[in-house]
């Protein structure tokens, strides 16, 4: 891309775009200096893509050299067989700006360098587009194409690497094998224009077909042509890479750009409130269609890797929503607690019950009534975009599967929805919903705990605060799809000040009273943490005094295992883990609280309720303080902390909350 100015005598020409240069590769960019005055000053700067500034050489000269990031540095390889997904960011779409200054004028131009092609990580692939495959790490690798369409010259390269790529050159089926791991991939390559656009017919997907036209995806290009996409500047060809199906100007495989060229369609230079109907060959490829996510090849379910063709991963969404600094949704999600990689070993994402909240497939199954669905290790995905957003429906804002106030509490609730067996002493699992609402604490008789809470009434529920967009704290760290209210010393004050507390300069204010009784009035978080520490210490002292134990040794406190409240040692390990290997196996069982110590259960439950809420009381300060103080008072010797600070409306010092 070359930029010129009115009356200019020279241009800043960084040279042509460079495509698919590879990973870990040295790239040399050379500015075209013809017509540039002698003594001109050159400056290269990176304006997009993974940061490679530490490898840049010659940034103040006509020639720039840099090294693209490796697959390992980009973090795209998983410890299981998979078709590798590449977003604009992870595909290494590096953008550089060249500035040339001479004669009091500055001219600028931009160039794009890509390491590979974008890919959604599914098995229905477009002809002519590089597809990368990967297997778990091993000592050696041996890739080969077992089956390909007659006449194909496609090969796996490099054949001896953990990750290798295939360039499908003909329509049809490709079976690829990595011999060391004995894994086969079943791929099917097609052309975008050749696939029938009748997915919604009554015999196939009528529900998805009826709902999808109402989504923003289904009309995004149409609205762009009309000038209805606000805040995005002029509608240009670059937009069509995401807003049209199969747009890729580097290959002719029946995408929108190819068919547009064939019929002579040109993007209008100005918005058209009533645009002319598109030519017939383009109508099925305009906007984001079924093929945009599912690919132009047949969907296969017959091999290990291809059970993931039904798109539960983040790859297809990342094709467009992972292009910082403008599109940060997926980059933010990668920093969230939702992004827990599912690799070779078993874990919550693959366990019956737990998978309902720890995997995308399990969550969707639970919405459909199957709370015990457990996807296998190879197929399981973390809590990805399609877990919360329905790509086929727009019943709720942002295409959420449930109303915003209901979605988060589906999993962030005390019962966890995942206990594998009944427990005599159930433990709170993820009790944010109960703490927000001021319910669920175990009582000791007397006055009830304060019900309700100041944040339970926030419109839009959890996302209103945790997903609040902020610019002041910097992108990718807090808010948005990180769902973080704070990250170290960085706080998303938009979560508070943007809605209810304008002008607030920090989350954690000075407490109105000395709630933990240490004779110092600290911040609210510190006061609640002091109460948690005191209650945890008191529980530990009591289980030690009673000599409670399990096969793993003497008890030092309480914790949780598989939905049970259990005795743990000083390191927090379940005392049912007799061999101390960090897992319960064979005849080992959770060390549930014995019946003789049942009187400790209310205080232990309330301790874990607030500990696992993890907000340090900020979700519901009156509730947290009252529950912790009263629980502490119920334990021998029955002393609650004695506060010396004055009381304040809504919250009393420790001596008054018993």
pLDDT band for position 651 (cuts 50, 70, 90):
very low
Mean pLDDT in residue range 435-448: 88
CA distances from 98 to 57, 65, 115, 393 (A): 14, 13, 20, 44
In tens, the pLDDT along 46-75 reads 999 999 999 999 999 999 999 999 999 999
Q: State the Cα–Cα distance between residues 521 and 526, nearest whole angstrom.
A: 9
Helix 601-613 to helix 524-545 angle, to the nearest 10 degrees? 140
Q: State the Cα–Cα distance between residues 485 and 494, nearest whole angstrom.
A: 9
Which domains are assigned to the chain? 26-113 (no CATH), 124-191+297-308 (2.60.40), 206-294 (no CATH), 524-656 (no CATH)
pLDDT at 275: 85
pLDDT band for position 450 (cuts 50, 70, 90):
confident
pLDDT band for position 282 (cuts 50, 70, 90):
very high
Residues 329, 483 contacting (CB under 8 angstroms)? no
pLDDT at 421: 67
pLDDT at 177 over 50: yes
pLDDT at 583: 86
Measured in degrees and rounded to the nearest 5, phi and psi for residue 435 equal -65, -45
Measured in degrees and rounded to the nearest 5, phi and psi for residue 177 equal -125, 140
Residue 563 tokens read as 């939905």
Q: State the Cα–Cα distance between residues 185 and 291, nearest whole angstrom.
A: 20
pLDDT at 10 over 80: yes
Alpha-helix residue ranges (DSSP H) falling in 188-327:
206-211, 220-226, 240-243, 256-263, 280-283, 290-294, 315-321
Measured in degrees and rounded to the nearest 5, phi and psi for residue 405 equal -70, -15
pLDDT at 653 over 50: no
Residue 603 tokens read as 């205080």
Q: State the Cα–Cα distance between residues 428 and 424, nearest whole angstrom.
A: 13
Q: State the Cα–Cα distance between residues 253 and 241, nearest whole angstrom.
A: 14
pLDDT at 377: 84
Mean pLDDT in residue range 91-120: 96
pLDDT at 422 over 60: yes
pLDDT band for position 474 (cuts 50, 70, 90):
low
Helix (H, G, I), strand (E, B) or coil at 480: helix
pLDDT at 472: 54
pLDDT at 300 over 70: no
Average pLDDT over the chain, rounded to whole?
Answer: 89
Bridge partners (DSSP) of residue 124 are: 188
The percent of residues above 90 in pLDDT, for the chain, comes to: 69
pLDDT at 233: 77
Helix (H) or strand (E) holding 38: none
pLDDT at 19 over 90: yes
Whole-model pTM: value is 0.89
Q: State the Cα–Cα distance between residues 391 and 399, nearest whole angstrom.
A: 7
CA 54 to chain CA centroid, nearest Å = 27
Helix (H) or strand (E) holding 119: none
pLDDT at 537: 96
pLDDT at 492: 82
Q: Which segment of 174-183, 321-330, 483-492, 611-620 scores lowest on mean pLDDT? A: 483-492
Q: State the Cα–Cα distance between residues 414 and 435, nearest whole angstrom.
A: 9
pLDDT band for position 588 (cuts 50, 70, 90):
very high
pLDDT at 495: 76
pLDDT at 649: 34
Alpha-helix residue ranges (DSSP H) falling in 284-335:
290-294, 315-321, 329-334
Instruction: Provide the phi-psi class of 476: left if phi over 0, else alpha when psi is between -120 and 50, else beta.
Output: left
Selected residue with higher pLDDT from 463 and 170: 170
Mean pLDDT in residue range 285-312: 73
pLDDT band for position 342 (cuts 50, 70, 90):
confident
Residue 249 tokens read as 């100007």
Of the candidates 537, 182, 476, 219, the residue with the CA atom closest to the CA atom of residue 327: 476
CA distances from 364 to 433, 485, 547 (A): 20, 26, 45
Catalogue the E-assigned strands of 54-182.
63-67, 82-83, 94-102, 105-113, 124-126, 131-134, 143-147, 163-166, 172-178
Q: Which segment of 113-127, 194-208, 282-296, 319-333 scores lowest on mean pLDDT? A: 194-208
CA 132 to chain CA centroid, nearest Å = 22
Mean pLDDT in residue range 451-467: 86
Residues 320, 243 contacting (CB under 8 angstroms)? no
Mean pLDDT in residue range 257-272: 95
Q: State the Cα–Cα distance between residues 68 and 49, nearest whole angstrom.
A: 10
pLDDT at 490: 82
Q: State the Cα–Cα distance between residues 348 and 371, nearest whole angstrom.
A: 13
In tens, the pLDDT along 521-555 reads 999 999 999 999 999 999 999 999 999 999 999 99
Q: State the Cα–Cα distance between residues 193 and 284, nearest whole angstrom.
A: 8
Residues 412, 602 contacting (CB under 8 angstroms)? no
Residue 583 tokens read as 């897992």
The percent of residues above 70 in pLDDT, for the chain, comes to: 92
Q: State the Cα–Cα distance between residues 449 and 622, nearest whole angstrom.
A: 9
pLDDT at 308 over 60: no
Which residue, chain included where needed, has tokens 């890797």?
Answer: 305
Mean pLDDT in residue range 130-159: 97
pLDDT at 475: 60
pLDDT at 6: 46
DSSP labels, 620-653: -HHHHHHHHHHHHHHSTT--PPPP-SPPBTTB--
Q: What angle do CA 94, 100, 102 make, to 5 degrees?
A: 175
Of the candidates 393, 400, 387, 411, the residue with the CA atom closest to the CA atom of residue 312: 387
Q: How many CA atoms lie within 13 A of 233 on its CB side?
A: 5
Selected residue with higher pLDDT from 653 and 383: 383
């Amino acid at each position: 891309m070359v930029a010129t100015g009115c009356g200019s005598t020279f241009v800043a020409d960084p040279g042509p775009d460079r495509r698919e240069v590879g990973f870990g590769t040295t790239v040399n960019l050379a500015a075209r200096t013809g017509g540039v005055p002698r003594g001109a000053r050159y400056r290269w700067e990176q304006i997009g893509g993974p940061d490679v500034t530490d490898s840049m050489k010659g940034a103040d000269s006509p020639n720039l050299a840099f090294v693209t990031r490796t697959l390992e540095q980009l973090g795209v390889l998983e410890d299981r067989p998979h078709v590798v997904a590449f977003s604009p960011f992870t595909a290494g779409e590096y953008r550089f700006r060249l500035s040339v200054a001479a004669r009091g004028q500055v001219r600028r131009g931009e160039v794009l360098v890509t390491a590979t092609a974008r890919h959604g990580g599914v098995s229905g692939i477009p002809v002519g587009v590089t597809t990368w495959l990967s297997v778990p790490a091993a000592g050696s690798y041996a890739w080969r194409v077992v089956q390909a369409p007659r006449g194909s010259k496609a090969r796996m390269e490099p054949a001896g690497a953990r990750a290798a790529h295939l360039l499908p050159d003909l329509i049809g089926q490709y079976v690829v094998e990595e011999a060391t791991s004995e894994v086969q991939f079943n791929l099917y390559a097609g052309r975008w224009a050749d696939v029938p656009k009748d997915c919604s017919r009554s015999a196939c997907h009528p529900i998805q077909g009826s709902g999808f036209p109402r989504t923003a995806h289904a009309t995004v290009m149409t609205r762009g042509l009309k000038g209805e996409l606000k805040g995005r500047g002029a509608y240009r060809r670059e937009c069509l890479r995401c807003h049209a199906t199969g747009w890729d100007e580097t290959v002719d495989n029946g995408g929108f750009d190819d068919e547009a060229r064939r019929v002579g369609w040109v993007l209008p230079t100005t918005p058209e409130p009533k645009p002319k109907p598109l030519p017939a060959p383009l109508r099925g490829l305009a906007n984001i269609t079924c093929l945009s996510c599912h690919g132009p090849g047949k969907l296969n379910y017959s091999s290990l890797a291809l059970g993931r063709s039904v798109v539960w991963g983040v790859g297809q969404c990342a094709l467009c929503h992972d292009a910082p600094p403008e599109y940060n949704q997926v980059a933010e999600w990668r920093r969230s607690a939702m992004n827990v990689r599912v690799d070779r070993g078993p874990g919550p994402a693959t366990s019956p019950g737990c998978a309902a909240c720890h995997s995308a497939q399990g969550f969707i199954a639970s919405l459909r009534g199957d709370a015990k669905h457990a996807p296998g290790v190879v197929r399981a995905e973390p809590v990805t975009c399609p877990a919360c957003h329905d790509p086929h429906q727009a019943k709720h804002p942002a295409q959420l599967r449930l109303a915003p106030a209901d979605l988060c509490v589906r999993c962030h609730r005390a019962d966890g929805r995942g206990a594998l067996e009944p427990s005599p002493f159930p433990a709170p699992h993820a009790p944010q919903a109960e703490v927000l609402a001021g319910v669920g604490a175990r009582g000791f008789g007397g006055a009830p705990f304060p019900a309700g809470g100041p944040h339970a009434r926030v419109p839009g529920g959890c996302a209103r605060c945790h997903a609040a967009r902020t610019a002041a704290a910097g992108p990718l760290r807090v808010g948005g799809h990180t769902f973080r209210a704070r990250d170290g010393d960085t706080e998303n004050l938009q979560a508070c000040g943007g809605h209810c507390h304008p002008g607030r300069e920090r989350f954690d204010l000075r407490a109105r009273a000395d709630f933990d009784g240490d004779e110092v009035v600290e911040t609210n978080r510190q006061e609640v943490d002091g109460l948690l520490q005191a209650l945890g210490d008191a529980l530990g002292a009591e289980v030690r005094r009673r000599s409670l134990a399990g096969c793993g040794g003497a008890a030092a406190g309480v914790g949780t295992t598989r939905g049970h409240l259990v005795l743990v040692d000083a390191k927090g390990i379940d005392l049912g883990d007799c061999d101390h290997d960090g897992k319960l196996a064979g005849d080992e069982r959770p060390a549930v609280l014995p019946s003789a110590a049942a009187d400790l259960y209310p205080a232990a439950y309330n301790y874990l309720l607030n500990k696992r809420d993890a907000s340090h009381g900020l979700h519901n300060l009156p509730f947290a303080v009252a529950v912790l103080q009263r629980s502490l008072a119920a334990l021998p010797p029955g002393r609650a902390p004695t506060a010396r600070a004055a009381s304040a409306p809504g919250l009393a010092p420790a001596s008054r909350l018993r």
